Structure 1
Amino acid sequence: MKLYSDFAPQRTRQIIADALALAAIIIWIWFGITVYSAVAALATFGVDMQRAGSGFEASMTDIGDQLAGVPLIGGAVRAPFDGASSAGAALESAGESQQVLVQQLALTLGLGIALIPTAIVLAVWLIPRIRFIRRAGRARVVLRSGAGVDLLALRALANQKLTALAAVDPDASGAWRRQDPAVLAQLAALELKSSGIRIRPAGTTAAG
């Protein structure tokens, strides 16, 4: 598997692109984790609310239980404390709900911030890199075959821009049909260069 071009300028661009892409992925993942932690910290308000509600409910229940033992008026006196106890239970439940909502929001924001930009970076960077690796691999296989130069020249006719082909020969396709060795070698070299492969002067083997 060939990861980088044999040609220094293209190889430098690939290395820089790899470094920038990996750095961007790391930064976005770190940013997503940071946002998740910051938002999740807001759940402490829900924890405090839950504890306050639980404590208030317990206190009102205890007072109501104590007053319920007062002869004649115990039942009537207890009723308001039972109502206050229910309010404490409602506050406790609200605190629990707040924690769940904050955790869901933190997770959604954290994943969104980390994954969406990472996916974009991968689409812009990784797909072309995979294409280069596959193209370089196919070119090396063709080069090592018996009819390597001829097939590479044919691939150049199919893949390269018309301006690049015209620079080799105004009638590059005709030269390929005539099996012009000089044009075939130039077309093959053109295809190999675009695939990141440098060949020796003989034009029959790959440099790396």
Structure 2
Amino acid sequence: MRLYADRPVLRTRQLTADLLLLGWAVLWVLVARVVHAAVLVLAEPGVQLESLGRSIGETMGDAAGVAGDVPLVGDDLSSPFEALGETGDGVAGAGQGLQDAVHTLAWVLAVALVVIPVGWAVVRWAGWRLGWAREAAAADRLRTLDPDLELLAARAVATAPLPALAGLPAGTGAAWRAGEPTAVRALADLELHRLGLRSSRSERGVDRAQLR
């Protein structure tokens, strides 16, 4: 499949569009990375909360073990420490949950910042580039056969801007209706020019050179 036009002007526009799309994608990936890192800063309180909860849990667990060793009243003495230890574990769990929520938010924002703007650009770019590629491939097939140049000529008559049609030699329309090959080629070349492709004359010149 043809990717770029033959004519320098359109080919330059296509290359520019491709590079702009690539640059746009890189830009939003960098923005997403910055936002991801910034959002992760919000997880720091969760880290500290988890650390505090674990510290309380471990300290109260040790205290409960020591209190449990006291004869006769060990169980009664250890119960408050065990309750405090469970509370510390709950605090640690809450800190971990906060960190998980922040990490999830950071990834969701980062992915959204890449997918939405880049996806929008890709859709617009693909519509233009793939549409041109389909038209160029069809035009390539039509311009290789003289009878099918009539189709390219008819397309030019139907869709070419009036200034472009007015720039053709006088009598081109009447000559085209009469089937004059020169007029057919002139109109066909107008459509090929719109697509940024070589003229039908250039194509036949290349074919003849190859045959020699």
- TM class by shorter chain equals 0.7 to 0.9
Q: Structure 1 counterpart of 2:14, which letter?
A: Q
1:118 corresponding residue in structure 2: 118
Following the alignment from structure 1 to structure 2, what is the Cα–Cα distance between the partners of residues 90 and 206? 83
CA apart distance, 1:173: 6.8
- 1:81 corresponding residue in structure 2: 81
TM-score normalized with structure 1 length: 0.84
Q: Which residue of 2 aligns with 1:71?
A: 71
1:43 aligns with 2:43: yes
Whole-angstrom distance in 2 between the partners of 1:103 and 1:160? 55
- Deviations along 1:79-132, one digit per CA (max 9) or x if unpaired, are 322221121011111011112101110110000001111111112222201111
Q: CA deviation at 1:158?
A: 4.0
Identify if the C-alpha distance between structure 1 residues 13 and 204 changes in structure 2 by more than 3 Å, giving closer, same or farther. closer
Report matched runs for 1:1-208 at 5 Å.
1-161=1-161, 164-165=164-165, 168=168, 176-199=176-199, 202=201, 205=204
Tell whether the 8 Å contact from 1:53 to 1:90 is kept in structure 2 after alignment.
yes
Preserved contact between residue 21 and residue 121 of structure 1 (Cα < 8 Å): yes
Q: Which has the higher helix share?
A: 2
Unaligned runs of 5+ in 2: 207-212
- List alignment gaps of at least 5 residues for structure 1: none
| Aligned-partner residue type, residue 132 of structure 2 | F
Cα 1:197–1:16, aligned 2, differ >3 Å: closer, same or farther?
same
In the aligned structure 2, how far is the partner of 1:26 from the partner of 1:126? 18
Shift in Å, 1:171: 9.0
Alignment partner of 1:205: what SS? helix
- 1:188 and 1:42 map into 2 onto residues whose CA distance is 64
Which stretch shows the higher mean deviation, 41-50 or 52-61? 41-50
Letter of the 2:117 counterpart: P
Query: Structure 2 length as normaliser, TM-score?
Result: 0.83
Q: Counterpart amino acid of 2:65?
A: D
How many equivalent pairs are there? Answer: 207
CA gap of 1:61–1:159, structure 2 versus 1, over 3 A, is same
Counterpart amino acid of residue 17 in structure 1: A
